[in-house]
Amino acid sequence: MISAEIVRLGTADIPEIHGIEKQCFTCPWSVRSLEASITLPVSYWFGARIGGRLAGFVGSFSAAGEAEILDVAVDPACRRQGIGRLLMTSALASLRDSGAETVFLDVRRSNDPAVSLYRSLGFEVFAVRSMYYSDPPEDAYGMRLIFNNNTDSE
């Protein structure tokens, strides 16, 4: 696994985020949507930087005990190096610290690497969202992770 620095992202990072979005998705988020999301007080966006360059990011929000992973992407040139796992574990720790008890996300049914990663982190499929994605049309898995808040009391 490559060594990456996990950093909190802000509006200054949007050009790099958008650049990765365009490489990874057929329907990338717009700059305006990224700005609207990243500036919310309940928003948590993290990036993995390698040598100062953004290699991937995860965007999420948390409110009222629930959280959602909104967006996850790793630059295609940086994949298969553990960056996605590092980003997700960092985001999940932050969301848990923010008071989230349950985390939700949606993922293309055909995205086997992502589904496998999410399952390995404890997410379970709880729904199939028919034709959730439009380009190309495809169902999504609705996945959730329920944090185990039980602690040893002895």
Rounded-to-integer distance, Cα 99 and Cα 96, Å = 5
pLDDT at 26 over 50: yes
pLDDT (tens digit, 9 = 90+) per residue, 60-107? 999 999 999 999 999 999 999 999 999 999 999 999 999 999 999 999
Angle at 67 between CA 64 and CA 69, to 5 degrees: 160
pLDDT at 151 over 90: no
pLDDT at 149 over 70: no
The string of DSSP letters for 32-47 reads: HHHHHHHTSTTEEEEE
CATH code of the region 5-146: 3.40.630.30
Contact 9, 21 (CB under 8 A): no
DSSP code of 121? T
The one-letter code for the residue type at 88 is M
Helix orientation angle between 112-120 and 83-97, rounded to the nearest 10 degrees: 50
In which residue are the tokens 């992770």 written? Answer: 145
Rounded-to-integer distance, Cα 100 and Cα 22, Å = 30
pLDDT at 112 over 60: yes
Peptide bond into 136 cis (omega under 30): yes
Contacts of 11 (CB under 8 A, 6+ apart): 35, 38, 39
